[in-house]
Structure 1
Amino acid sequence: MNTENRYPVTASLFMLKEIKHRQEHVNRGYQLLKRKAEALRIRGRQAASELASTQAILGHTLREAYISLAAIKFTNGESNALVLENIGQAQVRVLRIPENISGVSTVSLQALEETVGIGDTFRYAGLGAGGHRTGEAKKAFREAVRILIKFASLRNTCILLDESIRTTLRKVNGIEKVIMPKLRNTENYIMMEMDEREREDFHRLKMVKAKKMRSQARANKLRQDNKAGGAGESTEVVTPTAVMAANTRSVECFTCILRCNSSLSSTTDSGDFNKPICYPHNWDDDDLLF
């Protein structure tokens, strides 16, 4: 197995348990990241749809506000310098509300209109002519500011969610394509090595057992041969019949020797050397000394 597709570990039961423990944690993290990615996608789609609708409404509101501003300029003339000179405290403020979307921290912007304690400088503007159009322009621009704040909040949320979705999907793909195959290959490698060691140990034990059995069989055979040989020698020595037979053969041999000596002396005295010499019947040629 290629070592690049697995972790460099030693094949043992401890490492096998450790790899299985890691696989459980990785699978749990993989499932959590997939759920997080799905939740972020759903929330991102909702934010994108709200952003598109808000963008369309914002365009329409700004167009109406600038049309009303053009009507004021037509009736009252240029009033930008007057407006800039009489700017006081802001009547529309932005409230930052932190949100947590599946572990992603975002900020939601909300428009707050404060009218208590703040005097409107242009409350009596346009009394002589065009007062109605001035009020409509003020309302249109306030609505445009409110929608613009909502649009900015949704756009910021979409950007953060898009980055989080990319990061989460990158982690999910890394776990699925790199980490989990490496862990599986490592587990397979450890199992193969342990099986191979088990087969080697089993074969070694079989060889040792066969050698022991051969040595025991050889020892038993030698023991039986020794018992059989010892039993045969003891019967030859102890049996009295064998002793009597040996004594009888020795007496007969001695008698034959005497008879042959007497016949030899008689033949030599008479001068006849053609008669055969009598030897014991149980002597061979190798027993003769002459």
Structure 2
Amino acid sequence: MNENRYPVTASLFMLKEIKHRQEQVNRGYQLLKRKAEALRIRGRQVASELASTQAILGHTLREAYITLAAVKFTNGESNALVLENIGQAQIRVQRVAENISGVSTVSLLAVEEDGIGDSFRYAGLGAGGHRTGEAKKAFREAVRILVKFASLRNSCILLDEAIRTTLRKVNGIEKVIMPKLRNTENYILTEMDEREREEFHRLKMVKAKKVKTRTRLLLRQSSSACGAGEAKEESGDESPAPLPIRRHSIECLTGILTCTSTLSMTTESGDFKPVCYPHNWDDDDLLF
């Protein structure tokens, strides 16, 4: 059965390592959540600016084309004049790098070159030169707004992709990595507790076995001593009597041997404990 955890060995070292990984994952999770929130705020700002700029751009382009129609009506067709006098660009686009919560974006800025001469400043002076100037200003303003619209559109696309990637990472950490780490920690703790209970049970069994062996040895020695004393009494030998043996100690030793099961198991804790112990033993006799 495949469990939702990492394949690790149950040990104190791995438990410490898993806890350290959990701390790092929690720190990264919080940072990613803050990043996603900051990107969302910036994305809303860019989206609102983009909507307002798009509305302004439509109005500006409409006014610019109206002024161009007025120039054509006043001065006639001027496309040939424009194509003949094309030189250096008077408006250039500058790329400005911007970092938004770790996401690199590029903003476009329209820069007007003042040192370049205008070949159309005297065009149409005889017949409506002010119309040409108004058309020029209208189209320059349209170019600036168009550059700003392109910059906001690019930033909006980059921020949208960054928000999706960040949210994907956040969901992966929250739904996959963190549950696996928690399940791994619970598995290690469960295995270590089980090993501790098994070791405790083994020590109890060994201790009970040693107690039983020592009890049999003492009972055997007492039985041999009693048999030797009776034989000497029958032979009439007046040798010093053996050391008296306490009656309750012998009864307790006999009770231990006659017990069918020296251990009883509690259903709740699962521990084993001896049933009978001698009443006159010291604590040193019960140790290993």
Q: TM-score, normalised on structure 1?
A: 0.79
Residue equivalent to 1:199:
197
State the identity as a percent: 81
Residue number among 119, 141, 147 corresponding to 1:121 in the alignment: 119
Q: Residues 239-250 of structure 1 correspond to what in structure 2 (within 5 A)?
A: 239=237
C-alpha separation in 1, matches of 2:17 and 2:119: 74
Greater than 4 Å deviation, 4+ residue runs:
none
Q: Residues 110-259 of structure 1 correspond to what in structure 2 (within 5 A)?
A: 110-116=109-115, 118-237=116-235, 239=237
Aligned length: 238
Q: Secondary structure at the match of 2:63?
A: helix
Q: Secondary structure at the match of 2:105?
A: strand
Code of the aligned partner of 2:156:
C
Higher-RCO chain (CA-CA 8 Å, sequence separation at least 6): 1
C-alpha separation in 1, matches of 2:3 and 2:128: 80
Task: Report how far residue 112 of structure 1 moved.
Answer: 0.6
* 1:165-214 alpha-carbon deviations (Å, 9 max, x no partner): 00011111111111111111111111111111111111111111111111
Task: Report how far residue 238 of structure 1 moved.
Answer: 5.1
Q: Secondary structure at the match of 1:111?
A: strand
Task: Report how far residue 123 of structure 1 moved.
Answer: 0.8
The structure in which a higher percent of residues are helix is 1
Residue equivalent to 1:55:
54
Q: Secondary structure at the match of 2:177?
A: helix
* 1:90-125 alpha-carbon deviations (Å, 9 max, x no partner): 110111110110010011111110111x11101111
Stretches of structure 2 that go unaligned for 5 or more consecutive residues are: 239-288
Q: Secondary structure at the match of 1:120?
A: coil
C-alpha separation in 2, matches of 1:227 and 1:47: 103
Stretches of structure 1 that go unaligned for 5 or more consecutive residues are: 241-290
CA RMSD of superposed structures (Å): 1.3
C-alpha separation in 1, matches of 2:106 and 2:3: 44
Residue equivalent to 1:263:
none
* 1:225-268 alpha-carbon deviations (Å, 9 max, x no partner): 2222223333444547xxxxxxxxxxxxxxxxxxxxxxxxxxxx
C-alpha separation in 2, matches of 1:149 and 1:110: 7
1:66 and 2:65 are equivalent in the alignment: yes
Residue equivalent to 2:74:
75
Code of the aligned partner of 1:19:
I
